[in-house]
Structure 1
Amino acid sequence: MTGSTRDAIERAATRLFAEFGYARTSVRAIAAEVGVDAALVIRHFRSKEQLFVAAVRLDLAFQEVLDGPVEALGPRLVEYLLEADERARGVFLALVRASDAGQVESVLRRTHEAEFVTPLRRRLTGPDAQLRARLAAAVVAGLLYSLWVVRDEAVAAAPRDLVVARYGAALQEILTPAGSLY
C-alpha cells in the first residue's frame, strides 16, 4: 500500500468516525470511500480499533505551545486551539463519539494521558501539579466541546482576542493559581 493510499484511508476513517462514531462506522464503509478492498485495510491496520487509533492520532505541534513560559501558557494554549484545523475538529468529534465504545476506551485514556496530561504535567510544579494538568485538560475539552460538538454560535462568533483573554485567564488560573508559590 502506498503512503498516499494509507493517508487516504486515514482521512476517510477520520471523517466517517467523526460523522457516525466508532460503532456505526464499518471497515467496509471506509474502504468503499477510498475505493479499496476492506481486506486491504485490515491487512494493513490489523483491526478496526487500530485503524481508529491511527485515524484519530493528531500530529499536533503541542510541544511548541508548551515550550513557552508557563506563566502565559493559558492564553497561548487557547489561541492554539482556536486555530485548530478541520482535521483536529474531526479527530475530536471522533473521540467524543467513540468514548463509549469499550474497544477504544482504554486507548482513549492512554492517548489522553500521553498526548496531553503528561506533557503538560512536566511543565508544572507544586504538590498538586498532576491535578492541575488534569483540570486544564478538562477545561480545554470544554472549549472544544462548545465549539465543535454543540457549536455554540456565541462562542464561535466572539472576537478571538476576547476568547483568548477570558478563557486563557481561566485556564491560566488552573495552571498557575494566583498567590501560589508555583
Structure 2
Amino acid sequence: MAQPGTGTTTREAIRTAATRLFQERGYAGATVRQIAAAAGADPALVIRHFKNKELLFLETMHLTIDDEPLLDVPVEVLGERLVDLVLGLDGGAQGVFLALVRGSNEPEILRRLKDTHEKVLIEPLRARLSGPDADIRARLAASVAAGLLHSLWVARDETLLGTDRATLVTRYGALIQHVLTPPLSGARPVGTPSVTGSSFL
C-alpha cells in the first residue's frame, strides 16, 4: 500500500492498480474510486498525479509486440509467422486490446487504438513489402489479423478457441499470405530486384 508523502510510490501504485482494473473491467467499468482503493490511495491523489481517468487510461494501456520475428523470415511465409506471433501474445496484451476496443467510444482512446493498429500490425508488414500497392496489401493483411484477434478475444468464438494452434497458423496464415502476396501481384521482399519481362512490379 502506498504511504502518504511518497509521491513516486503512490504514483506507481496507482498505475499498477489502474492497469489491472482497466484490463479486467474496461474503461467504463473501472472508476477513479475503485482504482484509488486498489492502490491504497485517496481518489484526490489519482487526479493530482494523472489529471483524469482518461489520461490515466492512456498512460497505462499500451499494446506492443516484438516485430523481430517478422523481419527474419522469407516474405513467402510472412502470413504464418504473423499468425503465430499474434497467437503467442500473452494475457496482458489481450487485456490491453480488449480495454482499447471497449473504450474506443472515447475519441482519445479511439485514436490510441488506431495508432496501435498502425504501429503493431501495419508498419511491420509494410516494411517487408514493395511495389505501388504495398501499403494497401499491408493494411488488408493487418485487418485480417485483427479480425482473428476479435474472433478469439472479443467474440470468444468457441470453435476457433478449441482449434489447435498449428491449424490456425497454417490456415489463417495462408489467408493472410494471399493478401500479402496475391498471384501476379509481384509482391517481394524489400530490396529484391525486379526482373525484366517478369510479373514483378
Bin for the TM-score computed over the shorter chain: 0.7 to 0.9
Residue 114 (structure 2) pairs with residue 109 (structure 1): yes
Which structure 1 residue ranges, 5 or more long, are not aligned?
Answer: none
Runs of 4 or more consecutive aligned structure 1 residues displaced over 4 Å after TM superposition? 1-5
Residue of structure 1 equivalent to 2:33: 28
Which structure 2 residue ranges, 5 or more long, are not aligned?
Answer: 1-6, 188-201
Residue of structure 2 equivalent to 1:68: 72
How many equivalent pairs are there? 180
Can you list the C-alpha shifts for 1:91-118, whole angstroms capped at 9, x where unaligned? 1110110111224222322332233322
Distance 1:89 1:172 in 2: 24
Q: Contact between 1:57 and 1:91, CA under 8 Å: does it hold in 2?
A: yes
Give TM-score, length-normalised by structure 2: 0.78
Q: 2:142 aligns with which of 121, 137, 160?
A: 137
Q: Structure 1 residues 4, 168: CA separation in 2 closer, same or farther (over 3 Å shift)?
A: farther
Question: How does 1:87-98 map onto structure 2 within 5 Å?
Answer: 87-98=92-103
Q: Contact between 2:32 and 2:43, CA under 8 Å: does it hold in 1?
A: yes
Worse overlay, 29-38 or 159-168: 29-38
Worse overlay, 44-53 or 135-144: 44-53
Residue of structure 1 equivalent to 2:183: 178
Residue of structure 2 equivalent to 1:44: 49
Distance 2:51 2:10 in 1: 18
Distance 1:159 1:174 in 2: 23
Residue of structure 1 equivalent to 2:152: 147
Matched residue SS, 1:21 = helix
Greater relative CO (CA pairs within 8 A, separation 6+): 1
Superposition deviation, residue 158 in structure 1: 0.9
Give TM-score, length-normalised by structure 1: 0.85
Indicate the structure with greater helix content: 1
